A and B are shown apart, each in its own frame.
Chain A
Amino acid sequence: MIRICIIYDKLRFEEKKIYSKIKEKGLDATLVDGKSITFDTESSKRDPVFGDIILQRVISYTRGLHLTYCLEQMGLPIVNSFNVSEICGNKLITSMILKKNDVPTPKTTFAFSTESARECMKNLGYPLVVKPIIGSWGRGVYQIKDQSMAEMLLDRRQDNDNSYSRIYYLQELIDRPSRDIRCIVIGDEIAASVYRYSSENEWRTNVAVGGRTEEAPLTSELQEIVLKASNAIGGGILGVDLMEDKARGYLVHEVNNTVEFRGASAVCRSDIAGAMTDYLLKRSTK
């Protein structure tokens, strides 16, 4: 019997859903707390706890990335790969990879010190969007409307000890409807596509900040761009987020490595966890 190991560090709706779906399909599923795993240079793939294939669902980007590296080095099949995890977890790298592969994406400027960020913002003009390069759920994402707001942000970032806070990700503000699109890609298939509408008095569309989901039609144009983005990143199980620019059409602005799908599963008819299980089965060594 194929054994699928789900590594987590905080059990969310999604991990529970995938776990019960694996069981429902008559396969063997194990939940392993990533916080409890240890490795050494002698570790080998013989440890049966990891099963035939691993689904990495760790909420901490840094922990997940390092765990993935160790598991991959031991020769264990893992979804997603280290490379994919690294690209998705860092918005700067994601933007560069998307652009390099001709995936339409918002124009984004990177600065590596407070002084150069101030200079860039003055030159770019306002409004603009500032995002932390690491993190999710719209946290630390601000729409900067003028120079005084820019100064407040720079002040705040300067007081933060996190080394990533000194790297500035400055993005053009896209003229779009009050929604974005989340597509869940599993291998070469798009399992679900939803609109995420921002809530009242909120411009961010993240479900975590109150965004409402609604099933979105999967047009051939949308499908093409989403699969192109997924291939550019390296493939696997991904959440591709897009905005609808009123002038340029679809722009991919983010790709998620441990995609959350609670909002999507509430409104989509497709069996997202089931499709993930089938994909893992296909990717397993047996």
Chain B
Amino acid sequence: MKKECKDCGAELTIPQDSMVGEIITCPDCGTDFEILSKNQDTVEMREAESVGEDWGQ
């Protein structure tokens, strides 16, 4: 599935097996998008949260 990067207009490829919550990174501008919902034909995304200082494992 293909989407357009909201920031730079580049083409984003959404892998078939991707899941809600996964991050898709724009290959051109590096913006991260989080998959909000996904079905056979459509995928909804929003800009992902930026990495926080408290992020970790």
Contacts and interface: CB of A to CB of B under 8 A. Distances in A.
Interface of A: 8-11, 15-16, 19, 31, 33, 35, 59-62, 89, 132, 134-137, 139-140, 162, 164, 239, 256-260
Contact of B21 (A10, A60, A140): A10
B5 interface: no
Contact of A136 (B20, B23, B48, B56): B56
Interface centre among B48, B52, B53 (most CB of A within 10 A): B53
Given A10-B34, A10-B48, A31 B57 contact: no
B46 to A, nearest CB: 11
Nearest to A260: B57
Interface of B: 19-23, 34, 48-49, 52-57
Contacts of A132: 53
Contacts of A260: 57
Contacts of B21: 8, 10-11, 15, 31, 33
Nearest to B22: A11
A137 B56 contact: yes
Contacts of B53: 132, 134-135, 139-140, 162, 164
A79 to B, nearest CB: 15
Secondary structure at the B interface, as helix, strand, loop or mixed, is loop
Nearest to B34: A10
28 contacts: A8-B21, A10-B34, A10-B48, A11-B19, A16-B19, A31-B21, A33-B21, A35-B49, A59-B57, A60-B52, A61-B54, A132-B53, A134-B53, A134-B54, A135-B55, A135-B56, A136-B55, A137-B56, A137-B57, A162-B53, A164-B53, A239-B57, A256-B56, A256-B57, A257-B57, A258-B56, A258-B57, A260-B57
- The 10 A-B residue pairs with the shortest CB-CB distance, nearest first, are A136-B56, A11-B21, A61-B54, A260-B57, A11-B22, A256-B57, A62-B54, A136-B57, A134-B54, A59-B55
